[in-house]
């Protein structure tokens, strides 16, 4: 039986067990290093004590949280379904049933008239059944064999992102005895009997081995083991089904190997050997490979080469490097090419008819939006399916006929209730950072709730790995907007929002730009009258949680409340531990602190090491016990130490999901409950009640 919550909550006090960490002439005393030991009963006791304290502090907000949850759930069409896509004689789709947490993955045969509605449904996977008796369930790989007979799928039942691969006979509905652990990617050969898969190292979780398995065989054949600890491996089948590709890549360079998909026992060959600071990807069409590569500049160019002669001397440039346009990817079809490009922070799609070379762009008219690739499984197709959304437009699926240029809206995610997108306005601002560089900022708000004075404002940031922090629609977020909150996204350096140069300007020795950009954006929004420091909430997760930790140390008076999710806040110690997942591979993002100069880069901002005796905003820190990317102990140590230093009475809460991983809860309603908790806490701190 759990003890009753105290009537007057008292913050937990983690015991101090000093550990001396010495390097480069500096000794750091870490009083909470011991929290790394998950098997120590004191560790779990501390996490549970923090959960109990957070529950006690927020108990008065529980009715508000419940109301927010019901409000947000009420906007969801619970029995919704995805738009079916065609592949090898079937339509594939997923659907939800009312009241159930997880999707059901299905298919129907394509009718003689090309329809599907009247055909019998075949359930391939019911994720609700897989999740029975578990707190967490996620499907990773989902690959049907070319003949449609077998389904290779992987599942994670803890949130640690450790996936088990299984194969299901879709003719009988039975699972084969075949089981493989720690699988990271899967691809079928054309014989529908040979399966290639990659696995991760048990200690570091680096994807490092490629295997071949023949259905019915007892064992597997190791095809390749990548020894360089900076590199991860992946395997996939081209849309053309002509070749299997084995992608080997680090944060800054890569190599692709290929194998004819109808010769699974053949020899893998290299397209272009890896070179420092050169990344590339490969696709296939006819007798050519098409290569997107950054060998002449950071924004990538496009070349093609004969399959029979992939040496650089045979490359033919299709699209040169452009300084103002980032080539983010391509989709290749029998007669068409779709380029994914980014111009001044916004996505665009450019379609080329490969029969005559004519190109055109698909136009979008909102000031801030994002595009996503939908399932385009068939190679011989004139229809391109993509997703579109903005901060005020729900996720929308379009089919675009690349030959006729006719666009068809296939589905817009329904938002139940009285939602009207015309009530909301989006803006795109550019705010000058302290070095004169302009940083893009995306905002959304409800028009009739936007007064003349400073508004409560929620500012989100990320800024790492060259990943664009694209805007998205959230029906849950309407609960903020409808209460007068302005929601903003700061597209700070370190992300890929303005191409690879934007990433370069916010990593390694330049990492501090990420943090000062965010502060400058916040100050710019205050100066322009959008908000005020006592009305400003900030939020970020993972590397965005690192951002939250740094800016809270640097400018605590600028923010009213901070939400820090699975935050990478013990940066220096983590990057010094090569046994942890991700560490060695990420030397190319953060630096290698075993080198004195690079130690100094990270030491200057590592949030845990720079906590100070000063007032802090209200801070909500969230983590998960089974997180494999940012270990639970980072936020736990951060909160334990901050409790001993902060000089104010503002709430400091640590909430640990004891049954999930890096992404939090897996069930759609469980996840919504977590959001409702966050919103209730933040809105209360901003002085906004129910």
Could you list the active site residues?
542, 627, 662
Other CB atoms within 10 A of residue 26 CB: 11
- What six digits make up the tokens of 548? 């939250």
Q: Are 163 and 152 in contact (CB under 8 A)?
A: no
Return d(Cα 616, Cα 647) in angstroms, integer. 8
Return d(Cα 601, Cα 258) in angstroms, integer. 39
- Residue 292: closest CA among 262, 259, 249: 249
Rounded to 5°, angle at Cα 314 from 311 and 316:
125
Q: Are 290 and 283 in contact (CB under 8 A)?
A: yes
Residue 595 DSSP symbol = S
510 contact partners, CB below 8 Å, separation of at least 6: 493, 504
Rounded to 5°, angle at Cα 202 from 200 and 205:
50
- Residue 514: closest CA among 466, 560, 453: 466
Alpha helices in 466-595, H assignment, sequence order? 478-481, 500-504, 512-527, 543-554, 571-575, 587-590
653 exposure class (CB count in 10 Å sphere: 0-12, 13-18, 19+): buried
For 1-47, the DSSP string reads -PPPPPSS-----PPP--EEEEETTEEEEETTGGGG-TTSHHHHHHH
Place of tokens 């600028």: 558
- Residue 629: closest CA among 580, 590, 565: 580
- What six digits make up the tokens of 445? 């708000």
What is the phi-psi region of residue 603: left when phi exceeds 0, alpha when psi lies from -120 to 50, beta otherwise?
alpha
Give me the sign of the Cα torsion angle 114, 117, 119, 121. Answer: positive
Return d(Cα 553, Cα 667) in angstroms, integer. 34
- What six digits make up the tokens of 381? 């197709």
Return d(Cα 556, Cα 40) in angstroms, integer. 34
E strands present in 189-268 = 194-200, 207-214, 221-225, 232-237, 243-249, 254-260
Return d(Cα 361, Cα 321) in angstroms, integer. 18
Q: Are 159 and 662 in contact (CB under 8 A)?
A: yes
Return d(Cα 633, Cα 614) in angstroms, integer. 23
Residue 562, strand partner residues: 538, 619
- What six digits make up the tokens of 402? 């690349």
For 34-103, the DSSP string reads GGG-TTSHHHHHHHHHHHHHHHHHTGGGHHHHHHHHHHHHTTS-TT-BPPPEEETTEEEEEE--TT-SS-
Return d(Cα 256, Cα 390) in angstroms, integer. 35
Alpha helices in 528-593, H assignment, sequence order? 543-554, 571-575, 587-590
């Amino acid at each position: 039986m759990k003890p009753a919550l105290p009537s007057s909550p008292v913050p937990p006090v983690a015991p101090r067990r000093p550990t001396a960490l010495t390097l480069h002439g500096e000794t750091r005393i870490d009083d909470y290093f011991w929290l790394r030991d998950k098997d120590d009963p004191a560790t779990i006791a501390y996490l549970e004590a923090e959960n109990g304290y957070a529950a006690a502090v927020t108990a008065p907000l529980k009715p508000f949280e419940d109301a927010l949850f019901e409000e947000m759930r009420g906007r969801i069409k619970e029995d919704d379904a995805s738009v079916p896509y065609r592949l090898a004689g079937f339509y594939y789709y997923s659907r939800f049933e009312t009241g159930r947490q997880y999707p059901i993955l299905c298919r129907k045969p394509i009718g003689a008239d090309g329809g599907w509605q009247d055909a019998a449904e075949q359930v391939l996977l019911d994720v609700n059944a897989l999740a029975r008796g578990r707190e967490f369930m996620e499907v990773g790989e989902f690959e049907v064999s070319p003949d449609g007979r077998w389904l290779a799928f992987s599942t994670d039942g803890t949130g640690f992102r450790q996936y088990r691969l299984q194969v299901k006979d879709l003719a009988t509905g039975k699972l084969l005895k075949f089981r493989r652990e720690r699988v990271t990617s899967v691809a079928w050969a054309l014989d529908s009997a040979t399966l290639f898969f990659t696995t991760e190292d048990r200690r570091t979780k680096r994807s490092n081995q490629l295997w071949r398995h023949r259905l019915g065989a007892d064992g597997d054949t190791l095809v390749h083991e990548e020894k360089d600890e900076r590199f991860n491996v992946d395997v996939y089948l081209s849309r053309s089904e002509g070749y299997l590709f084995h992608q080997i890549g680090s944060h800054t360079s890569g190599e692709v190997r290929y194998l004819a998909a109808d010769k699974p026992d053949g020899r893998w060959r290299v397209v272009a050997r890896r070179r420092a600071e050169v990344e590339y990807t490969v696709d296939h069409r006819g007798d050519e490979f098409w290569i997107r590569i950054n060998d002449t500049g950071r924004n990538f160019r496009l070349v093609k080469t004969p399959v029979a002669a992939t040496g650089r001397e045979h490359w033919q440039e299709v699209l040169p490097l452009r300084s103002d346009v980032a080539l983010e990817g391509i989709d290749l079809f029998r007669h068409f090419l779709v380029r994914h490009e980014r111009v001044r922070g916004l996505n665009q799609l450019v379609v080329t008819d490969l029969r005559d070379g004519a190109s055109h762009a698909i136009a979008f008219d909102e000031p801030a939006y994002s595009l996503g690739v939908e399932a385009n499984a068939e190679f011989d197709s004139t229809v391109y399916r993509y997703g579109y959304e903005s901060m005020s437009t729900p996720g929308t699926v379009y089919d675009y006929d690349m030959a006729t240029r006719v666009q068809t809206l296939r589905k817009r995610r329904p938002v139940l209730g009285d939602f009207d997108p015309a009530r909301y306005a989006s803006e795109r601002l550019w705010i000058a950072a302290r070095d004169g560089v302009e940083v893009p900022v995306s905002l959304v708000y409800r028009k009739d709730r936007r007064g003349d004075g400073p508004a409560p404002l929620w500012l989100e940031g990320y800024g790492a790995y060259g990943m664009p922090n694209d805007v998205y629609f959230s029906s849950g977020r309407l609960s903020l907007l409808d209460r007068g909150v302005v929601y903003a996204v700061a597209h700070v350096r370190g992300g890929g929002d303005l191409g690879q140069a934007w990433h370069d300007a916010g990593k390694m020795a330049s990492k501090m730009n990420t943090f000062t950009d965010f502060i400058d954006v916040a100050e710019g929004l205050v100066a322009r009258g959008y908000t005020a420091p006592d009305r400003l909430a900030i939020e970020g997760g993972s590397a965005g949680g690192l951002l939250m930790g740094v800016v809270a140390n640097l400018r605590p008076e600028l923010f009213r409340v901070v939400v820090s999710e699975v935050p990478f806040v013990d940066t220096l110690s983590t990057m010094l531990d090569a046994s942890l997942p991700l560490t060695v591979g990420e030397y190319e993002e953060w630096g290698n602190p075993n080198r004195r100069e690079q130690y100094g880069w990270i030491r200057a901002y590592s949030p845990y090491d720079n906590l100070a005796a000063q007032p802090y905003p209200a801070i909500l820190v969230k983590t998960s016990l089974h997180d494999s990317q940012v270990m639970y102990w980072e936020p736990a140590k951060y909160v334990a130490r901050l409790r001993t230093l902060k000089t104010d009475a503002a709430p400091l809460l640590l909430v640990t999901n004891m049954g999930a991983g890096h992404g939090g809860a897996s069930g759609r309603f469980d996840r919504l409950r977590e959001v409702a908790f966050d919103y209730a806490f933040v809105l209360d701190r901003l002085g906004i009640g129910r």
